[in-house]
Structure 1
């Protein structure tokens, strides 16, 4: 699991590299923020789009093979990004990088969904992934300051090769040990290939997982048939939550580094400008790791969808505060926003595992990450347009409006359809 989680960190560091290097790329090509936002949209959409074929491949080839393909492809693509001579070529290579790195999530999460303490393990896996998100700004901006933004992508390419060498040692079948600190020794996970994904999740669910009572299931045959026809509705509710969460995630992480660099002035310990902004962005984004960890614990103990709604609504005032803040307060509010935003993620991932059709867990995760990262990528274009017209601080006002509206819509659908919810192996109410 060290290899899998390390790959997760690298994938997210690569995903955030463009945002961390945005101002350096702008300075070289002399383009405006709208075009740079469109390029981020292209890469982000490709990242999400790749989740669809990845889910299909996981169901047929197994997660380990897809993981190896991800690392090999992303190494080549990152090198091509580094060699891009123009904005057009950069857009093409960013799309290729998105397609290769985007293969990861259905493979990684399909593996984790079969562990005994899956919500906790998903949370810990997310912690390590978000360390990649947090480290990327300071590491890559530091490399760019010392040399060039292109060297930062060459570094990512080399790290992907190292990851591939470790991934080639993974077994393609049997159990993968969770390893010390990543779950109990018995919490193994089988590689998932054809005929395995979605057939069941190892181990019992924790007591607080929000299981429905037997009274929730209709006692008549006609009632059960009606629920069988409506099994997809609760899954669609969770997908809707993923679309909005992905939209806000993409829009915020694309412009948080730029917003911090514009708003933070002066120096700290002799560091100023881009270096200081990169370091402070890393501090703020470290909240993602804490959010995944806390979210994993809470999702094991509380009803999951209400937990999602509570954390979702809590992010709205934080986005408003980010827009209006500067200096140290901006770092604090960004940190709290990132913690809260990622705290809903373990519950969302586990709900997808709960309500996937039998034998289609990989495909269900593929759809989830396409909706989250693919459709969410359009936030980069909207954010780029907003930043060009009204300034970077206005980006977070727009994201707050989208987040609040999406949460209210999802809550409405939730209350209208909770009677049709499907538990693993049975139809019941939403937890």
Structure 2
């Protein structure tokens, strides 16, 4: 296998768009009640609908990726996701918001299985860790720039124009993936036919204990980081009296540091096979920092530094996390496996807002950070168990080769 020139930039660009689209509603939240004439509960329903739809169709989309081709499905995701946001922009009603977020959820279900299938099958194994880190960095960067970009457009014009701007970024990226002879050359889709002599992967093989545990890991990852991404600003203001501009700056530091942590994590992922140890170590340190935020009243500059370091550590684990999934995926079933495992993100994205929102409503804002720390601790435990299982598998394979 060799690196296909232009493939990684194309996949990374699509991942940037996917995270930008994920953050559209959250970024515009303060402006949308008046714009749509609804309350926050109704807006929360739209966000939950997005996650529920993605969770329901992500695993089937993994099968579709392996059947019809990852690049073909990736282009379809860009087209559908951008069209759904354009629908909200041109017909800004609550009904269209729900319809648009439902369609965007379908599009979102395609990105991870399609992206990871392309990278797993077409990037040289010697560089796969760095490729995963660049891919994930692009996604984190899309999430980090979304609040500044979309709020600036909305304040300068209307929220409808912000939805349109997000759609335009998606359509522009789709054009790059389609145009022949562009700076990012076309990548052909992967054929789904099973090579001669290679057994077909059964559905039960895709539900192995390792795949199930990785899905649980993705749930915990979403719950631990989602608490910070979506609720830390309100928790800091309500619980510690932090000014809005400082609370927003702390969240921005977390998001941007997460993106750059991914790049460092990619280098680590290529230099070790102990991906579980790398992920567990980084998250253990992040757990301690979250406990510090929950238990101490840090001044604003210290808060910026602590959340920034926490973001960096949570970003470091992302490539190692992806390498764990790749190691668990049966040959030729990468799209299916990533589709199943990534469903964990959406399960966490559906459950988390309910629990964390309840903590804020009950007047327990520090519970946001204690909850994040608790889920990080569980993530460390699950990751170490997975690393132990993979180590045992490696020993078993080594013994089998020795006796052969």
Instruction: Please confirm whether the aligned pair reaches a TM-score higher than 0.5, indicating the same fold.
Output: yes
**Residue 166 of structure 2: aligned partner:** 156
Q: CA deviation at 1:41?
A: 2.6
1:239 to 209, 212, 215: 215
Deviation of 1:32 after TM superposition, in Å, equals: 5.9
Q: Is the 8 A contact 2:176 2:184 kept in 1?
A: no
Q: Distance in 2 between matches of 1:29 and 1:391?
A: 29
The equivalent residue for 1:403 is: 376
> Which residue of structure 1 aligns with residue 321 of structure 2?
348
Deviations 1:107-139 (A, max 9, x none): 111111131111111111222222111111111
> Residues 421 and 194 from structure 1, CA distance in 2 versus in 1: closer, same or farther, beyond 3 angstroms?
same
Greater helix content:
2
Superposed counterparts of 1:155-234, under 5 Å: 155-169=165-179, 191-195=189-193, 232-234=208-210
Q: What per-residue deviation string (whole Å, max 9, x for no partner) do you get for residues 193-241 of structure 1? A: 31369x99xxxxxxxxxxxxxxxxxxxxxxxxxxx99993333333332
- Kindly indicate whether the alpha-carbon contact (under 8 Å) linking 2:257 and 2:308 is maintained by their aligned counterparts in 1: yes
Tell me the equivalent position of 1:389. Answer: 362
Which 10-residue stretch deviates more, 4-13 or 372-381? Answer: 372-381
Change (3 A) 1:27 1:229: closer
- Is residue 355 of structure 2 the alignment partner of residue 379 of structure 1? no
1:85 corresponds to: 93
User: Are 1:125 and 2:147 matched, yes or no?
Assistant: no
TM-score normalised per structure 2: 0.81
Of residues 62, 65, 70, the one that matches 2:69 is: 62
Which 5+ residue runs of structure 1 have no aligned equivalent?
180-187, 201-227, 266-272
Q: Is 1:317 matched with 2:288? A: yes
Are 2:67 and 1:97 equivalent residues in the alignment?
A: no
- Partner deviation per Cα, 1:384-421 (whole Å, 9 max, x = no partner): 22222225443222222222234335535654x45653
1:286-297 equivalences under 5 Å are 286-297=256-267
Distance 1:394 1:21, change over 3 A: farther
- Would the aligned equivalents of 1:71 and 1:161 in 2 still touch at CA under 8 Å? yes
Where does the alignment leave 5 or more consecutive residues of structure 2 unmatched?
1-7, 199-203
RMSD: 3.6
Q: How many residues align?
A: 378
User: How big is the shift at 1:423?
Assistant: 9.1
